[in-house]
Amino acid sequence: MRALETNSSGSVSQFLLLGFPCSWEIQILLFLIFSLIYLLTLTGNTSIICAVWSSRKLHTPMYILLANFSFLEVCYVSSDVPKMLANLISQTKSISYAGCLLQFYFFFSMCAAEGLFLSALSFDRFLAICRPLHYSIIMTNRLCAWLVIFCWLGGFLWLLTPVTLISQVPFCGPNTTDHFLCDLVPLLALSCAPVPGITLACGIISSLIIFLTFLYILGTYFCVLSIVLNVPSVLGRRKAFSTCASHLALVSLFYGHGDVC
């Protein structure tokens, strides 16, 4: 274990992310597995972006939102996976104090932005199914552009307060955590003194946007389901459900993996 490193003021200058404390052989195996998953994620999302970009038929609000979501997913996984892979094959497993704060900010900001994009996609599906005659009037290119801007800015602005609060917390040792990224609770557990107020405030702020977007998506799909079930033909119901299938898959993956934000 490396000695605790501090700067001239006595504060911690870097953290040690142990991640997966296992044998070297297992770490190499994990490195190969996670590298493959990472490359598949990049390939899949990049393919969606290129498909939407290259086909004018896909220049519709739903696919524009989906392409932005795919680009966001690439940035999201790239905010922590490369560092995790580097630590798996490194003996130091360290990250600087500034790097830790930046990783926390970008990872959770993009997580929040993904929740907002999923809400925007659910709004698009709600209009398409529940208000089909008004869809082209409401969901214009202008509104779609504003939704994209709102989702990107909303995610990054929402996490400014938590990262500002964390930057005010003194860290003087220890500097070792079992996590593979700079997560909120493990990071604040390394502070010089207990900071329950900041921990609670950051936890509420970070979780609130995910909770609110989840409730909004549930509400829109409740309305969609009530409309679809009243469609007289089986073919019509099947067509309506098929338009929501990809979005429901994204929602299930995002909110269902248990470690969302």
pLDDT over 70 for what percent of the chain? 93
- Bigger pLDDT: 33 vs 196: 33
pLDDT tens digits, 94-109 = 888 899 999 999 999 9
CA–CA gap between residue 49 and residue 233 (Å, rounded)? 35
- C-alpha 6/C-alpha 12 separation (Å) is 4
Say if CB 68 and CB 86 are below 8 A apart: no
Radius of gyration of the chain (CA): 21
Cα–Cα distance, 11 to 6 (Å, whole number): 5
| pLDDT confidence band for 81 (50 / 70 / 90) | very high
Q: What span, in angstroms and rounded, lies between the C-alpha atoms of 23 and 29? A: 10
44-59 pLDDT, tens per residue? Answer: 999 999 999 999 899 9
Phi, psi angles (nearest 5°) of residue 140: -85, 170
> What's the one-letter identity of residue 153?
L
74: amino acid identity, one letter: V
Distance CA 56, CA 44 (A): 20
What average pLDDT does the segment 9-31 reach? Answer: 79
Q: Residue 3's pLDDT band (boundaries 50, 70, 90)?
A: very low
For residue 170, give both structure tokens.
Answer: 């003194």
pLDDT at 244 over 50: yes
For the beta carbon of residue 226, count every other beta carbon within 10 angstroms.
10
Q: Look at residue 101 and give its three-state secondary structure.
A: helix
Measured distance CA(172)–CA(5) in Å, rounded: 9
pTM of the predicted model, to two decimals? 0.87
CATH of the domain spanning 14-256: 1.20.1070.10
Residue 114 has pLDDT above 90, yes or no: yes
Instruction: Return the half-sphere exposure (C-beta side, CA atoms, 13 A cut-off) of residue 124.
Output: 26
State the DSSP code for 189: T
pLDDT (mean) for 233-241: 72
